[in-house]
Amino acid sequence: MPRIVDYLVITMKADRNEARECTQEVFTEVYDRIRKDKIREHKYIFRYITLSVKNEYVRYKKYQHRFAAPDEAYDQAEPAEQIQNLMDEERMKQLEECLYELDRESRSLIKYMLKHPDKSSQEYAEHFNISSGNVRIRKSRILNILHHCYKRKASK
């Protein structure tokens, strides 16, 4: 089911919760069809599910009255954009995993920096009760560790 949800998010630019809802609806429908022996060619079930989930999403969006024009319901991400969306999502997962490989202090520092990007080194130093030079050194080391971790995970 997660792959079908990802399929909607990537190809139809769907919100993840809407994609889950539509996917659940389709899985229920497909399950009933299989029980009633209405789907005879089992090798086509995945294709049937992907088409059904796409159609269900379009119906859902039309029902929600979120489109200004009917053609907008069929607005799909371009293949290059689909690949970029998938890569961005994968990168974020890998970086998140790398963050949890950091020690507690480093993770705390980098998370604070990410939440407050507009602050200066001096403000970070005051918050963590360290020198501003130490902030710059730690930041550099953390980014280096994250970079190598990401490269290691991306090459797998």
- C-alpha span between 7 and 76 (Å, rounded): 11
Residue 155: how many other CB atoms lie within 10 Å: 6
- The answer to whether 139 touches 113, Cβ cutoff 8 Å, is yes
State the pLDDT confidence band at 128, using cuts at 50, 70 and 90. Answer: very high
Are residues 67 and 83 located together in one domain of the fold? Answer: no
Q: 94 Cβ partners below 8 Å, 6+ apart?
A: 150, 153, 154
Share the mean pLDDT of the chain.
80
pLDDT at 8: 81
How many domains in the chain? 2
* pLDDT one-digit tens code per residue, 104-113: 999 899 889 8
Same structural domain, 40 and 66: yes
Domain of 31, in residue numbers: 2-74
Are 89 and 77 a contacting pair, CB within 8 Å?
no
114 and 146 assigned to the same domain = yes
On whether both 89 and 64 belong to a single domain, the answer is no
Single out the residue in 39, 74, 109 at which a domain terminates: 74
Q: Based on the domain organization, do 114 and 140 belong to the same domain?
A: yes
* Same-domain status, 117 and 143: yes
User: Do 34 and 57 fall into the same domain?
Assistant: yes
Q: What angle do CA 126, 136, 87 make, to 5 degrees?
A: 115
Check: CB of residue 121 under 8 Å from CB of residue 130.
no
Q: Let me know whether 119 and 54 are in one domain.
A: no
Claim to verify: residue 102 and residue 43 sit in the same structural domain: no
CB atoms within 10 A of CB 33: 14
Q: Are residues 45 and 70 in the same domain?
A: yes
Average pLDDT over residues 5-25: 84
Could you tell me the pTM of the whole model? 0.45
